[in-house]
């Protein structure tokens, strides 16, 4: 510890990692994402890819902008993430009504991939819910929504 930093300042700085909601949320998200990805691997999809396919399955054909809004992703990030799925034949990306718009649709192969990933996801999800308890899992989802909602007020 630098001689110029008081013990109070040191404690405040230490809290940046130990008590920071963002840092702890990101750490937990990385670990949980890696766990889901490992268990979904036999289906050939990562959990983030499955989520993209679910949005298409649930809501049908839509523009990249519409998908980005639903997934709360930057449009360019989503477009980059869609390319491997299109290359695998799980979705199509075609020009929309103008040159700037791209329309995305789930293919039959994409729907089959979702059906393949579903039991693996259910097994993984059950493990996580059982591990933290059903009430805590429900509370966690509520608290995550509440934390995300706080960011909308700016």
With respect to residue 51, please indicate whether it lies within any of the assigned structural domains: yes
Residue 42 domain flag: yes
- Report the CATH number at residue 132: 1.10.10.10
Binned at pLDDT 50, 70 and 90, residue 18 comes out as confident
Average pLDDT of the chain is 94
Residues 6+ apart with CB under 8 A from 35: 124, 128
Q: Is residue 2 part of a domain?
A: no
Residue 80 lies in a domain: yes
What is the total count of domains within the chain? 1
Structural domain range at position 69:
7-153
What mean pLDDT comes out for the span 44-70?
97
Give the list of residues 6+ apart from residue 50 with CB closer than 8 angstroms, or none. 40, 43, 114, 117, 121
How large is the average pLDDT for residues 16-37?
94
At 128-142, the pLDDT tens digits run: 999 999 999 999 999
Within-domain flag for 62: yes
Residue 1 lies in a domain: no
Does 55 map to a domain? yes
Is residue 75 domain-resident? Answer: yes
């Amino acid at each position: 510890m630098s001689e110029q930093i008081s013990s109070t300042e040191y404690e405040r700085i230490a809290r940046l990692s130990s008590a920071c909601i963002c840092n702890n949320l990101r750490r937990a998200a990385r670990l949980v994402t890696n766990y889901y990805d490992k268990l979904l691997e036999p289906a050939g999809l990562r959990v983030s890819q499955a989520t993209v396919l679910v949005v298409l399955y649930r809501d049908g054909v839509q523009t990249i902008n519409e998908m980005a809004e639903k997934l709360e992703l930057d449009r360019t990030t989503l477009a980059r993430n869609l390319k491997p799925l299109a290359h695998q034949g799980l979705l199509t990306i075609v020009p929309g009504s103008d040159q700037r718009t791209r329309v995305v649709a789930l293919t039959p192969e994409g729907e089959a991939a979702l059906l393949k990933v579903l039991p693996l996801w259910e097994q993984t999800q059950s493990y996580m819910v059982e591990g933290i308890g059903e009430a805590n899992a429900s509370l966690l989802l509520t608290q995550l929504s509440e934390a995300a909602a706080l960011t909308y007020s700016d």
